[in-house]
Structure 1
Amino acid sequence: MPTREEVRRAPKVLLHDHLDGGLRPQTIIELAAEVGHELPAAGAEALGAWFTQSADSGSLERYLETFDHTVAVMQTADALTRVARECVEDLVADGIVYAEVRYAPEQHVEAGLSLDEVVAAVQAGFEAGVAAADGRIVVRQLLTAMRHQARSMEIAELAVAWRDRGVAGFDIAGAEAGFPPTRHLDAFEYLQRENSHFTIHAGEGFGLPSIWEAIQWCGADRLGHGVRIIDDIRVADDGSVRLGPLAAYVRDKRIPLELCPASNVQTGAVASIAQHPIGLLTQLRFRVTVNTDNRLMSGTSMTAEMFDLVEAFDYSLSDLRWFTLNAMKSAFLPFDQRLEIIDRVIKPGYDALLG
C-alpha cells in the first residue's frame, strides 16, 4: 500500500472539479469583505468547517445551497481571476498534471459582467497559475449550464466560441430530480453538430433514467458521477455478477464515469467510502475515474480521495495509475496531447514511484 505522501507525489488527472466549490476559506472572507456579503462563520478555519458540515447533510439539494456564498463573492473579473489562479496553485500542490475545472458562467453576471467577460476572467487566472507552475499542469475550462434554467443553448454556443481559447467542453449541473437532461436536448444536438465535447451530471441524485437519458437521448461523452449505474448490476449469493442492458452498454462503450467518492457520501448517494460502488465497478473494469467534485465542501483533494480508496480497498500504486490513465484517456483534449501527457508525465511519474 502506498503512503499518503507517495499518493500526493503521484501524477494525477482531475476531470470533475467545480471552480465555485474549491475556494480557499480565507479568499472567501477577503472577497466577501470587498462586496459586503455576510458569511455564516468568522475566521478561515471556522468557515471551512461550516462549509464541510453544511454539505455533509445526505441531501444533494442542501449540499448545493452552500454555493450561495461562494458564487456571491465571484461576481467581478478580478475575483474570478484570483479564484481561478489560486485553484491552479492548489491543484499543482496536490500533484495534478491535467485538470478540467467546471463552473456556470450564467451565475457570475449579477454585477454586470457579460458571459464572455466571465470566461475571459477565468481563463486569465488559469493562464497565470499555469505560467507560475512552469507548465507542470494543463488546466482547461468546462462551461456548465444549470439544468433548472433555460440558458443551456447560450452556454453551449459560448463553449463552442471559446473551444480554441481554453474551453474543453460543456456540462449541465444542478438538482437532477425533476430536471432531466432532455430539457436541454437542443443544446446537446447543437454541440454534436459542432463536434464539441460534453459531459452531463447524471446518476448522482437520481437513478438509472437520468443516466439513460444522458447517454441515449443526449449523447454524453462522459457521465458526471454516474454512480447509480450500480443499480443495473446484480451480484448473486454465489458471487456471480450480472450486468443489466444499460450497465453493459456503459461498460462496452467505455463511457467514462466521473466518480467523486467523498461527495457521493456527503450527498447520500452512497453510505460510506468502503461501500462505494467504485470497488465493484473497478473490478468489472468500467472506465472509472476518481475526482474531487467540490474540494471546499468536501474538505478534500485528489490525494485525499485516492488515499481513502487505498485504505478502503487496499489499492496499490498500480491501481492508482490505472485510474489516472483512464482519466487522461477520457480528457477533452486532442489525442496527441493526451498521449504526450501519458508518455512524458504520467507513466514516468508512476515508474519512478514504483522503483
Structure 2
Amino acid sequence: MSEPIGERIRRAPKVLLHDHLDGGLRPQTIIDLAPEGHVLPATEADALRQWFEDSASSGSLERYLETFDHTVAVMQTADNLRRVARECVEDLAADGVVYAEVRYAPEQHLDGGLSLTEVVEAVRDGFAEGEAAAEADGSPITVRQLLTAMRHQARSMEIAELAVGYRDDGVVGFDIAGAEAGFPPTRHLDAFEYLQRENAHFTIHAGEAFGLPSIWQAIQWCGADRLGHGVRIIDDVTRQPDGSVQLGRLASYVRDKRIPLEMCPSSNIQTGAAASIAEHPIGLLKDLRFRVTVNTDNRLMSGTSLSRELELLVDAFGYDFADLRWFAINAMKSAFLPFDERLAIIDEVIKPAYAVLATMS
C-alpha cells in the first residue's frame, strides 16, 4: 500500500518565510499560561482551537483581531516567551520544515515589564532549545527571528536598530505589519533607509488588504527585499481575449527583479484577499514564474501547517514533488540567511530528499 500523499509531503523538507510567532501557539499552552483574570473563550484545548479557527474565518476583522488578544496576553514574561518559541520550533520540525523565519513584534510583549532586548533574547533562547530538541529527535531545523514593527505605531526605528543589534545573534531581518489602508510603509522611511545603510534585510507586509499602491511603495520607496503576501500583484496581470497574459509595469518589475512573494493561501482566503484555494493567484503567478513561496502566516488561526498548505495546492493545481521542490528552493533562495548557509541547505538537504521522493511518485 502506497504512503498517503499528505505524509509524503510532511516528510519532504520545507522552507517557511512568513510565520507569526503569536499566531502559532498550541491551544493547551494558551490555557496553561493564561494570566490570572484573563478570561479565555474556552478552557478545553480542542474547543479553544475551534474558536480560533472560527473567529479567524468569521469575516469580522474585530473578531479576527480578538484572537491575538489571547495569544499575546500569554507572551509577556521571559519564561512564557521561551516556551512559546521552543514549541514553535518543535511543531515546525515535526512538520518537516528545515528552515524557518518566524516574525513577531517585540513592542507587543512589554506589558510584564520586559525590555525589548529581553524579549528578543527570550525568543532566541526558546528557538535554541527547540532546535536542540528537534536535532535530538532526528528532525534538524534552523529557525531565525524577523523583528516586526507595527505600522500604526511610531517605534519602527527603534525596532530596526534592535534588529541590526541582534543580527549576529539570531535575528536575520526586519518587517512591518498591521493595517495597510491608511498606514503606508512610507511612514517608516527613516527605518528603511537606516536598514539599507546598515546592509540589513527587510520584508514588508504589502499587497494583501490593500492593492498595487501598497506594493509599489514597499518596493520603490522603501526598498523591500521581499513582499509579505503580495497577492494583489495579480491586479497588474491581465488575461487577453486570446488567452495570453499581459503584465503591467509593476508586475513585470516584480518578476524581472525576482522579488519574493510570501504567499499564505489559507490566510489570504480568511482575509478576503483570495476567494478560494483553486482561485488563488498563486496558481497563475507560479505559471508565470514569479518568485512565489508558500507560507502559513498564522498556523493557529488558520488551523494549518506548511504541509497542509502544500497539500491544498496539490489538490487544487495538480502539483507534484517537482513543484514542491521548486517552492522549497524558491523560499531558501529568498531567505535572509547568509548565502553559503542557504546553499548548504539547498544542496545538502532539499535536493537529495526530493530526488528520493521523485523516485516514489
Report the equivalent of 2:86.
Answer: 85
1:313 matches 2:317: yes
Partner of 1:66: helix, strand, or coil? Answer: helix
Task: Name structure 1 gaps, 5 residues minimum.
Answer: none
1:127 matches 2:131: no
Report the equivalent of 2:255.
Answer: 251
Of 182, 201, 205, 1:201 maps to 205
Q: Deviations over 1:141-181 (max 9, x none)?
A: 00000000000000000000000000010000011111100
> Structure 2 length as normaliser, TM-score?
0.96
Q: Deviations over 1:209-256 (max 9, x none)?
A: 000000000000000000000000001222110000000000000000
Q: How does 1:304-343 map onto structure 2 within 5 Å?
A: 304-343=308-347
**C-alpha separation between the residues in 1 aligned to 2:11 and 2:94?**
9
Residues 59 and 328 (structure 1 numbering): CA distance in 2 closer, same or farther, change over 3 Å? farther
1:141 matches 2:156: no
* Alignment-mate amino acid for residue 20 of structure 2: H
Report the equivalent of 1:19.
Answer: 21
Report the equivalent of 2:111.
Answer: 110
1:297 matches 2:301: yes
Partner of 1:250: helix, strand, or coil? Answer: helix
Aligned-residue sequence identity (percent) comes to: 78
TM superposition shift of 1:59: 5.2
Q: How does 1:61-76 map onto structure 2 within 5 Å?
A: 62-76=63-77
Q: Deviations over 1:36-76 (max 9, x none)?
A: 31111220001000001100033556433311110011000
Report the equivalent of 2:154.
Answer: 150
**C-alpha separation between the residues in 2 aligned to 1:340 and 1:158?**
28
* Alignment-mate amino acid for residue 310 of structure 1: V
Q: Deviations over 1:7-57 (max 9, x none)?
A: 11100000000000000000000101x443111122000100000110003
Q: Deviations over 1:274-319 (max 9, x none)?
A: 0000000000000000000000000000010000000000000000
Residues 350 and 59 (structure 1 numbering): CA distance in 2 closer, same or farther, change over 3 Å? farther
Deviates more, 1:235-244 or 1:217-226: 235-244
**C-alpha separation between the residues in 2 aligned to 1:301 and 1:109?**
28
Q: Deviations over 1:304-338 (max 9, x none)?
A: 00000000000000000000000000000110000
Residues 14 and 60 (structure 1 numbering): CA distance in 2 closer, same or farther, change over 3 Å? farther
Task: Name structure 2 gaps, 5 residues minimum.
Answer: none
Partner of 1:273: helix, strand, or coil? Answer: coil
Report the equivalent of 2:10.
Answer: 8
* Alignment-mate amino acid for residue 31 of structure 1: L
The answer as to whether partners of 1:20 and 1:71 remain within 8 angstroms in 2 is: yes
Q: CA RMSD in A?
A: 1.2
Report the equivalent of 1:29.
Answer: 31
Which of structures 1 and 2 has the larger relative contact order (alpha carbons within 8 angstroms, sep 6+)?
Answer: 1
Q: 4+ residue stretches of structure 1 with deviation over 4 A?
A: 59-62
The answer as to whether partners of 1:58 and 1:265 remain within 8 angstroms in 2 is: no
**C-alpha separation between the residues in 2 aligned to 1:219 and 1:64?**
28
**C-alpha separation between the residues in 2 aligned to 1:231 and 1:308?**
23
> Structure 1 length as normaliser, TM-score?
0.98
The answer as to whether partners of 1:61 and 1:175 remain within 8 angstroms in 2 is: no
The answer as to whether partners of 1:101 and 1:141 remain within 8 angstroms in 2 is: yes
Report the equivalent of 2:194.
Answer: 190
**C-alpha separation between the residues in 2 aligned to 1:198 and 1:60?**
26
Residues 206 and 273 (structure 1 numbering): CA distance in 2 closer, same or farther, change over 3 Å? same
Report the equivalent of 1:39.
Answer: 40
* Alignment-mate amino acid for residue 191 of structure 2: A
Aligned length: 354
